[in-house]
């Protein structure tokens, strides 16, 4: 099993990280964690790009098990100046050999209501995609309530290294268009209660599905989610598709290895 998208350095999970990683190594083949310029509130940060640095350091502590994508969440864009964004893009460029993807990046109309702010996030999204093209890395996409816009933007770029629609719950027309263009989808615990993610998990070709927890978010309970819950995702996909756990596990694990080009 592979957790293809989580936030190990985010508050709530980072406090019990060593314990979680120790247990995860017993059952998981790898974990891909996301690094952001900062975690939580920007005003609380202690060093420049501390979220990204923490993720990179974690991968160095657990080589061959923890891998990193570096991204800029659309909801963080309004809290950054143009200079900071350009510095962060250069930071990712310098660390391209230490990461397996650019993300999560994208668009968000759930949290971002102001149209001028949304336009700025759209411009930054284009810049992050251009960076991914330049350094030859796949992208991990956040597209909450902006799925159609995100797919159109993605199709305007030449993303030869791959596109992963993370935690996709949007309309199926955009989803099918993404699938037709070779995009991958990572499913999480939302598949138990979101009809569109269930459709994707049940009906899309298994060769285009990855498993994720998005921990510390999206727990089946009110507790902090961890990569250990990836087993629940594989079990639910198996039940929906009428396949064995081992078959789903083998294919989705292989998909993650291929998508991120993991040296496993």
Question: Is 104 flagged in the annotation as binding?
Answer: yes
Question: Is 126 flagged in the annotation as binding?
Answer: no
DSSP 210-235: EE---TTS--SSSSPP-GGGHHHHHH
CB 108 within 8 A of CB 146: yes
Q: Would you state the structure tokens that stand for residue 81, as one six-digit string?
A: 């100046």
Residue 264 predicted with pLDDT over 80:
yes
Question: Is 5 flagged in the annotation as binding?
Answer: yes
Total domains in the fold of the chain: 1
Band (8; pLDDT cuts 50, 70, 90)? very high
| Contacts (Cβ under 8 Å, ≥6 apart) of 213 | 3, 5, 6, 188, 189, 225, 226, 227, 229, 230, 233
Residue 38 predicted with pLDDT over 60:
yes
CB 12 within 8 A of CB 214: no
Nearest to 214 by CA among 253, 179, 167: 167
Domain of residue 204 covers 2-260
Q: For residue range 109-161, what is the model confidence (pLDDT) as tens digits? A: 999 999 999 999 999 999 999 999 999 999 999 999 999 999 999 999 999 99
Question: Is 157 flagged in the annotation as binding?
Answer: no
**What φ, ψ does residue 226 adopt, rounded to 5°?**
-140, 165
Check residue 44 and give its pLDDT: 56
CB 252 within 8 A of CB 2: yes
Q: How does the average pLDDT of the chain come out, rounded?
A: 95
Q: Report the b/e string of 103-134 with b at 16+ CB within 10 A.
A: bbbbbbbeebeeeeebebbbebbeebbebbbe
Residue 43 predicted with pLDDT over 60:
no
pTM for the structure as a whole: 0.96
Band (58; pLDDT cuts 50, 70, 90)? very high
Strands (E), 60-99: 66-70
Check residue 27 and give its pLDDT: 96
Check residue 219 and give its pLDDT: 85
CATH number for position 54: 3.20.20.140
Q: For residue range 185-243, what is the model confidence (pLDDT) as tens digits? A: 999 999 999 999 999 999 999 999 999 999 999 988 778 999 999 999 999 999 999 99
Positive/negative CA dihedral, 89, 91, 96, 102: negative
């Amino acid at each position: 099993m592979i957790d293809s998208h989580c936030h190990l350095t985010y508050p709530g999970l980072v406090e019990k990280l060593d314990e979680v990683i120790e247990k995860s190594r017993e059952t998981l083949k790898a974990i891909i964690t996301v690094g952001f310029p900062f975690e939580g509130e920007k005003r609380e940060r202690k060093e420049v790009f501390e979220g990204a640095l923490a993720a990179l350091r974690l991968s160095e502590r657990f080589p061959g098990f923890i891998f990193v994508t570096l991204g800029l969440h659309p909801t963080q864009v309004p809290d950054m100046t143009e200079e900071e964004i350009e510095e962060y893009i250069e930071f990712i460029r310098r660390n391209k050999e230490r990461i397996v993807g650019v993300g999560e990046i994208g668009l968000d109309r759930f949290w971002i209501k102001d149209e001028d702010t949304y336009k700025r996030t759209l411009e930054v999204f284009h810049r992050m995609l251009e960076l991914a093209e330049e350094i030859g890395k796949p992208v991990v996409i956040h597209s909450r309530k902006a799925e159609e816009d995100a797919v159109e933007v993605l199709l305007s770029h030449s993303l030869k290294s791959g596109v992963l629609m993370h935690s996709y719950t949007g309309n199926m027309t955009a989803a099918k268009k993404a699938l037709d263009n070779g995009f991958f989808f990572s499913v999480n615990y939302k598949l138990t209660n979101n009809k569109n993610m269930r459709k994707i998990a049940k009906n899309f070709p298994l060769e285009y599905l990855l498993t994720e927890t998005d921990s510390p978010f999206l727990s089946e309970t009110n507790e902090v989610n961890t990569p250990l819950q990836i087993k629940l995702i594989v079990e639910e996909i198996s039940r929906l598709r009428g396949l064995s756990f081992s078959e789903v596990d083998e294919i989705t694990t292989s998909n993650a290895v291929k998508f991120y080009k993991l040296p496993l």
